[in-house]
């Protein structure tokens, strides 16, 4: 009976964590480039239950004294002690593109990147913009909603500096307005694209392809970090594996709000079911303890 209480309680803890993940996804449904988290629920390690016979029926040994050999274990079955939420795994599926006509809105489309076989399983790589974190490290994001700061640096909506192919912050000088900028599908940044006499290259947006996105660690809602350096596609010997950039477009979150709300309601129902199980066990224990109780 106590084991049943523990199993129901573990289900409640697991569903509570899943609800937190779903709530966070729903809160970021309108965040540009946000990648939703999926909660992985696993069973507790299984226990192999066996009944040990006191003695073998034909296990008598005679000699200095007569005694019986211990019996062999008799398998009963397997026992699982509930579930737990082991981890949150981001989903890097492509978000829908929305046209904004803002010259500093940039969206990545990486559906043409071929899948890689990692540990015998196909894994879809993902492309990211490279940004400079406050501590100087490199972060990776799909947030392509940018602007120019007071020093002419390209910055994300979260304030991170956008890095170029040379791993240095991209800076626009000479008082160039954002309306005078053009970004090609390969990430090349040009000034005054409509005036051939002034058109010039300013730099190139740094793009990184992560072969196994599951290895990334989420720092915030929209930025990831890798323990191992990730090469840019513009590095020596690097090639574009099938990435295109779209200026004037914004990649939306890949959160399906309708499905997320449905999952939240199902999670609540599961939580309530586990509550009822605990209530039943509690009533049973109260009746058990009341057996033989003397009144008066």
Mean pLDDT value of segment 263-273:
94
Task: Answer whether 88's CB lies under 8 Å from 69's CB.
Answer: no
Query: Residue 49: is its pLDDT beyond 50?
Result: yes
Whole-number average pLDDT of the chain: 85
Q: What does the pLDDT look like over 282-292, one tens digit per residue?
A: 888 887 777 65
Measured from the Cβ of residue 199, the count of other Cβ atoms closer than 10 Å reads 13
Mean pLDDT value of segment 260-278:
94
**Looking at residue 174, what is its pLDDT?**
79
Q: What does the pLDDT look like over 52-96, one tens digit per residue?
A: 655 555 555 555 455 555 556 667 666 666 777 777 889 999 999
Q: What does the pLDDT look like over 203-259, one tens digit per residue?
A: 999 999 999 998 899 987 689 999 888 999 888 777 778 899 999 999 999 999 999
Report d(CA 155, CA 170) in Å as an integer: 9
**Looking at residue 250, what is its pLDDT?**
95
Task: Answer whether 243's CB lies under 8 Å from 234's CB.
Answer: no
**Looking at residue 296, what is its pLDDT?**
47
Query: Residue 16: is its pLDDT beyond 70?
Result: yes
Q: How many degrees, rounded to 5, is the angle at CA 282 between CA 278 and CA 283? A: 120
Q: What does the pLDDT look like over 108-148, one tens digit per residue?
A: 999 889 888 888 889 999 999 999 999 999 999 999 999 99
Task: Answer whether 249's CB lies under 8 Å from 100's CB.
Answer: yes
Q: What does the pLDDT look like over 135-146, one tens digit per residue?
A: 999 999 999 999
Report d(CA 126, CA 144) in Å as an integer: 15
Give residue 40's pLDDT band: very low, low, confident or very high (50, 70, 90). confident
Could you tell me the sign of the dihedral formed by the alpha carbons of 231, 235, 241, 247, in that order? Answer: positive
pTM: 0.79
Query: Residue 293: is its pLDDT beyond 90?
Result: no
């Amino acid at each position: 009976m106590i084991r049943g209480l523990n199993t129901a309680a573990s289900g409640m803890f697991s569903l509570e964590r899943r609800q937190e993940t779903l709530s966070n996804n729903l809160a970021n449904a309108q965040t540009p480039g946000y990648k939703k988290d999926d909660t992985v629920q696993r069973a507790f390690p299984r226990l192999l239950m066996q009944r040990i016979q006191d003695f073998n029926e034909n296990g008598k040994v005679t000699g200095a004294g007569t005694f019986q050999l211990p019996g062999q274990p008799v398998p009963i079955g397997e026992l699982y002690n509930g579930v737990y939420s082991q981890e949150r795994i981001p989903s890097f599926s492509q978000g829908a593109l929305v046209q904004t006509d803002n010259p500093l809105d940039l969206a990545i489309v990486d559906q043409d990147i071929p899948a890689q076989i990692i540990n015998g399983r196909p894994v879809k790589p993902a492309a990211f913009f490279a940004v400079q974190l406050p501590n100087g490290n490199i972060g990776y994001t799909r947030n392509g909603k940018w602007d120019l700061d007071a020093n002419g640096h390209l910055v994300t909506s979260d304030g991170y500096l956008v890095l170029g192919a040379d791993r240095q912050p991209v800076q626009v000088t000479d008082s160039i307005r954002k309306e005078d900028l053009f970004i090609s599908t390969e990430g090349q940044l040009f000034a005054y694209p409509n005036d051939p006499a002034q058109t010039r290259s300013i730099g190139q947006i740094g793009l990184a392809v992560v072969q196994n996105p599951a290895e990334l660690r989420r720092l915030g809602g929209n930025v990831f970090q890798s323990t191992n350096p990730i090469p840019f596609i513009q590095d020596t010997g690097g090639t574009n594996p099938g990435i295109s950039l779209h200026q004037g477009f914004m990649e939306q979150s890949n959160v399906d709000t309708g499905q997320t709300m449905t999952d939240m309601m199902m999670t609540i129902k599961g939580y309530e079911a586990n509550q009822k199980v605990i209530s039943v066990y509690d009533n049973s224990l109260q009746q058990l303890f009341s057996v033989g109780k003397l009144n008066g």
